[in-house]
Amino acid sequence: MFHVEQNINLLKEYLQRLDIHIDRVQVERLLAYAQLIKEWNRKVHLISKNDVERVVERHIIPSLFFEKYLSRFSEHGVLRILDVGTGAGLPGIVLAIVEPQWKLVLLDSSRKKTLFLRRVCAELEVDAHVVCERYEKFVEGARDEFDWIVARAVAPLGELITLVRPHLERGVRLLTIKGLDFMDELDGTLLKEFRLSAWRFDKDLMIEDYLKNKCLVKVEKLYG
Ligand X SMILES: C[S@@+](CC[C@H](N)C(=O)[O-])C[C@H]1O[C@@H](n2cnc3c(N)ncnc32)[C@H](O)[C@@H]1O
- Cα 138 vs. chain centroid, distance in angstroms? 19
**CA 219 – CA 183 distance, rounded (Å):** 12
Q: Annotation-wise, does 109 bind a ligand?
A: yes
Nearest distance in Å: CB 53, ligand X: 16
Q: Is 197 annotated as a binding residue?
A: no
Q: Of 11 and 164, which CB lies nearer to ligand X in the complex structure?
A: 164
Nearer to ligand X, 31 or 117 (CB): 117
Q: Find the residue with minimal CB distance to ligand X.
A: 87
Cβ nearer to ligand X, comparing 35 with 109: 109
- One-letter amino acid identity for 81? I
Is 29 annotated as belonging to a binding site? no
Q: Between residues 24 and 156, which has the closer beta carbon with respect to ligand X?
A: 156
Residues 6 or more apart in contact with residue 73 via CB below 8 angstroms = 79, 147, 148
Does the annotation list 110 as a binding residue? Answer: yes
CA distances from 85 to 65, 160, 202, 214 (A): 18, 10, 27, 19
Taking the C-alpha atoms of residue 188 and residue 192, their distance in angstroms, rounded to an integer, is: 8
74 is in an annotated binding site: no
Shortest distance in whole angstroms from residue 165 CB to ligand X: 12
How many Å apart are CA 221 and CA 203, to the nearest integer? 29
**Least spacing, CB of residue 152 vs ligand X, in Å:** 4
Between CA 217 and CA 179 the distance in angstroms is: 10
Q: How far is the CB of 84 from ligand X (least distance, A)?
A: 6
Please answer whether residues 67 and 96 qualify as being in contact, where contact means their C-beta atoms are separated by less than 8 angstroms: no
Best CA proximity match to 221, nearest among 165, 142, 182: 165
Query: Interface residues with ligand X (CB under 6 A)?
Result: 85-88, 90, 107-110, 113, 134-136, 152-154, 163
CB nearer to ligand X: give 11 or 90: 90
Give the residue with the Cβ less far from ligand X, 99 or 108.
108
Residue 213: DSSP 8-state: T
85 is in an annotated binding site: yes
Smallest gap, in angstroms, from Cβ of residue 15 to ligand X?
20
Minimal distance in Å, beta carbon 196 to ligand X? 20
Q: Are 11 and 30 within 8 A, CB to CB?
A: yes
- How many of the other CB atoms lie within 10 Å of CB of 63? 23
Residue stretches of the annotated binding site: 85, 90, 108-110, 152
Residue stretches of the annotated binding site for S-adenosyl-L-methionine: 85, 90, 108-110, 152
